[in-house]
C-alpha cells in the first residue's frame, strides 16, 4: 500500500482516503463520491478494527460482506481497496496507542472507554500506510471527526480532514452498518432518534433555548418506545463537547440509544432562532 501511494504521489496524483469498517451503505458511498470529487486517486479501506471494540461489544458479530463491498466501492470509483488482516495491522508485540486527553471524556467515550483510543490508533496507522493528501469522515460520527481533526493537528499529519453530512434513510434514520441488526419492530423504534432531534430543533425554533428542556423533550420522544434505552442525550459545544446550558449560539445535540441489543447514534448541529 505504501509503495502504491509513493507511486501515485510521484505521478502527481492527489490521494483521497475513505476509511471504513465495511458492510457498506449509501452513507459510505457518499464519502467516496466526495473523495472522487476532491482527489484523483481514491483509496477505500475496509477493516473491522479490534482495538476500538470493548469487551462484550459486537466485534465478532459485526456484519461483513467483502465481495459486495468491493463491487460497491469499485462502482463508486475506488482505485484501491485496502483490506488488511487484523494480524497484519496489530503485530503480537504491538504496544503504541494514540490517546487523546479531553475529547474522549464526553458522549460515546464515557460508555465506550477504549473506543476513541482504538479509533485514533488505527486511523494514525492507516494514515501512515495509505499516506493520503486528504481523508473523508462522516459527521454521523461527530465525536470521531473531532478526535481525528485534533489528532491530525496534535501529531502534525499533513492530511486535510473533510467532514461529510449525515446520509439518512427516507424516514430520517441515519444509515449505519449496525441498522442490519434491527428487527422490523426495532427498525420502527429506531426512527425515534432522528424524530427526537427534529422535535428539539422545532422547539428551539419556537424560542425554547434552555438545553435541559430540549433534552427532556427529545428524551420523551425516544422513551415512548419501550425497547429504546437511552445512553445519553446531550447538548454540547460543537468544538470541545463541553455541556452547554443555553442555546445562545449554535450547539450540538447528540444522542446514543440502545434499541434492543443495537446501539445507535445520531446528532444535529442546531442554531438558535434569530430573535
Q: Which of 5, 27, 82, 221 binds ligand AMP (CB under 6 A)?
A: 27
For residue 174, state whether it binds ligand AMP (rule: CB under 6 A).
Answer: yes
Q: Characterize 100-131 residue by residue with b for buried, 16 or more Cβ atoms within 10 angstroms of its Cβ, and e for exposed.
A: beebbebbbbeebebbbbbbbbbbbbbbebbb
- The residue among 166 and 211 lying less far from ligand AMP, judged by its C-beta, is 166
For residue 177, state whether it binds ligand AMP (rule: CB under 6 A).
Answer: yes
* Contacts by 271-274, CB closer than 8 A, 24 or more apart: 272/204, 272/209, 272/247, 272/248, 273/204, 273/205, 273/206, 273/207
Distances (CA, A) of 263 to 37, 52, 58, 109: 32, 15, 10, 14
Minimum CB distance to ligand AMP, residue 116 (Å) = 13
Minimum CB distance to ligand AMP, residue 27 (Å) = 3
Minimum CB distance to ligand AMP, residue 166 (Å) = 5
- The residue among 19 and 247 lying less far from ligand AMP, judged by its C-beta, is 19
Minimum CB distance to ligand AMP, residue 142 (Å) = 8
Select the span of 28-36, 80-88, 98-106, 236-244 touching ligand AMP (CB under 6 A). Answer: 28-36
**Cα distance between residue 104 and residue 176, in whole Å:** 21
Contact (CB, 8 A) for 130 and 3: no
Minimum CB distance to ligand AMP, residue 191 (Å) = 14
Q: Are strands 15-20 and 134-138 parallel, antiparallel or unpaired?
A: parallel
Active-site residue 28, yes or no? Answer: yes
For residue 28, state whether it binds ligand AMP (rule: CB under 6 A).
Answer: yes
Contact (CB, 8 A) for 46 and 18: no
For residue 143, state whether it binds ligand AMP (rule: CB under 6 A).
Answer: no
- The residue among 172 and 260 lying less far from ligand AMP, judged by its C-beta, is 172
**Catalytic, out of 25, 28, 133, 194:** 28
- The residue among 43 and 175 lying less far from ligand AMP, judged by its C-beta, is 175
Minimum CB distance to ligand AMP, residue 64 (Å) = 11
Site for ligand AMP in 119-138 (CB under 6 A): 137-138
For residue 166, state whether it binds ligand AMP (rule: CB under 6 A).
Answer: yes
Nearest to 44 by CA among 60, 13, 23: 23
For residue 31, state whether it binds ligand AMP (rule: CB under 6 A).
Answer: yes
The torsion angles phi and psi of 269, rounded to 5 degrees, stand at: -85, 125
**Cα distance between residue 206 and residue 221, in whole Å:** 18
H/E element, 217? helix 211-223
Nearest to 115 by CA among 231, 207, 10, 35: 231
Q: Which of 41, 69, 141, 186 binds ligand AMP (CB under 6 A)?
A: 141
Residue nearest to ligand AMP as judged by C-beta position: 138
CA dihedral 45, 126, 51, 26 (to 10 degrees): -30
Contacting positions for ligand AMP (CB under 6 A): 20-21, 27-28, 30-31, 137-138, 140-141, 164, 166-167, 174-177
Catalytic positions:
28
Amino acid at each position: 500500500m505504501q509503495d502504491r501511494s509513493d507511486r501515485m504521489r510521484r505521478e502527481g496524483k492527489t490521494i483521497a482516503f475513505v476509511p471504513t469498517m465495511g458492510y457498506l451503505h449509501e452513507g459510505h458511498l457518499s464519502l467516496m463520491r466526495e473523495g472522487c470529487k476532491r482527489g484523483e486517486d481514491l483509496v477505500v479501506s475496509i477493516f473491522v478494527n479490534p482495538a476500538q471494540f470493548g469487551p462484550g461489544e459486537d466485534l465478532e458479530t459485526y456484519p461483513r460482506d467483502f465481495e459486495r463491498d468491493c463491487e460497491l466501492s469499485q462502482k463508486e470509483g475506488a482505485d484501491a481497496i485496502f483490506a488488511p488482516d487484523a494480524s497484519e495491522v496489530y503485530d503480537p508485540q504491538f504496544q503504541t496507542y494514540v490517546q487523546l486527553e479531553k475529547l474522549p471524556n464526553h458522549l460515546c467515550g464515557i460508555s465506550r472507554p477504549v473506543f476513541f483510543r482504538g479509533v485514533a490508533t488505527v486511523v494514525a496507522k492507516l494514515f501512515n500506510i495509505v499516506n493520503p493528501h486528504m481523508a473523508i469522515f462522516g459527521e454521523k460520527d461527530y465525536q470521531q471527526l473531532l478526535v481525528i481533526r485534533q489528532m491530525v493537528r496534535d501529531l502534525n499529519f499533513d492530511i486535510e480532514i473533510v467532514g461529510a453530512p449525515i446520509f439518512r434513510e427516507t424516514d430520517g434514520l441515519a444509515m449505519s452498518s449496525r441498522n442490519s441488526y434491527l428487527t422490523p419492530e426495532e427498525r420502527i423504534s429506531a426512527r425515534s432518534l432522528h424524530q427526537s432531534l427534529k422535535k428539539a430543533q422545532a422547539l428551539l425554533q419556537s424560542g425554547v433555548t434552555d438545553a435541559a428542556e430540549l433534552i427532556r423533550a427529545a428524551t420523551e420522544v425516544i422513551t415512548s418506545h419501550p425497547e429504546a434505552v437511552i445512553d445519553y442525550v446531550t447538548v454540547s459545544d460543537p468544538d470541545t463537547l463541553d455541556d452547554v446550558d443555553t442555546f445562545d449560539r449554535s450547539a450540538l445535540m447528540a444522542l446514543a440509544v440502545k434499541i434492543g441489543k443495537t446501539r445507535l447514534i445520531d446528532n444535529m448541529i442546531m442554531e438558535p432562532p434569530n430573535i
